[in-house]
Amino acid sequence: MRLVGKILALVVAFLFMLLYFFPKVEAYYTLESLLKKEKIIFSDEKINDSGFTISLENSKLYYNGVYGGEIEDISLISLFLYNRLEFNNAYLNSALANFLPKKIEYINLTYSIINPINITINGRGDIGKISGFINPFEKLVHIELNVDKKQKTKYSSLLRKFKVDDKGVLVYELRY
């Protein structure tokens, strides 16, 4: 039994060392080249690799050559049983302000062993609180939005895509 415990401890230590020393910056540049094929470009970012976390600071987002906005902090925490992608303080292009919120305080995407089927979404912005999940097996995105009355009139064109459920929460579902 001791031998099994030692082997298990060595395997776990090896996996954590593999994650810690994984070339995250090079993996980011590979991801960036894949996003470039989809016409999504991050530029002017400062990349920090700190052990289990990689973060981008002050990155500008372009889609199809058009400036989309700026994100102050993007960080990815990657462990085998828990992974989290955080977007903090995103400011969208003011030309999009008529139908999208100008500021998003945070959006967190979390995948953990506790809920292995879904990637959970939590966030807050000018429009209100966002929660939901992505189910990659069923190819489903489910977003719930809690909005106050003032924001309902301001972002009416965006909110037309949402449906009201029994509890009065705005729900958007997309199958991809």
Q: What is the pLDDT of residues 125-136, one digit of tens each?
A: 988 999 999 999
Q: For residues 119 and 115, what is the distance between their CA atoms, to the nearest angstrom?
A: 8
pLDDT at 157: 81
Average pLDDT value over all residues in the chain: 92
- CA proximity to 148, closest of 168, 132, 120, 166: 168
Instruction: Show the domain range for 65.
Output: 2-175
Question: In this structure, how many other beta carbons lie within 10 angstroms of the beta carbon of residue 34?
Answer: 10
Query: How many domains does one find in the chain?
Result: 1
Q: What would the mean pLDDT of 114-120 be, rounded to a whole number?
A: 95
* Residues 139 and 176 sit within 8 Å (Cβ to Cβ): yes
Which range is least confidently modeled, 10-24, 32-46, 68-82, 139-153?
Answer: 139-153
- Would you say residue 143 has pLDDT above 90? yes
39 φ/ψ angles, rounded to the nearest 5 degrees:
70, 30
Helix (H, G, I), strand (E, B) or coil at 107: strand
Alpha-carbon distance 119 to 134, whole Å?
Answer: 5
Are 147 and 158 within 8 A, CB to CB? no
What pLDDT does residue 43 have?
94
**Neighbour-count burial of 57, counting CB atoms closer than 10 A to its CB (0-12 exposed, 13-18 middle, 19+ buried):** middle
pTM of the predicted model, to two decimals? 0.86
| DSSP H helices in the chain | 2-21, 24-37, 149-154, 156-159
For residue 149, the model assigns a pLDDT of 77
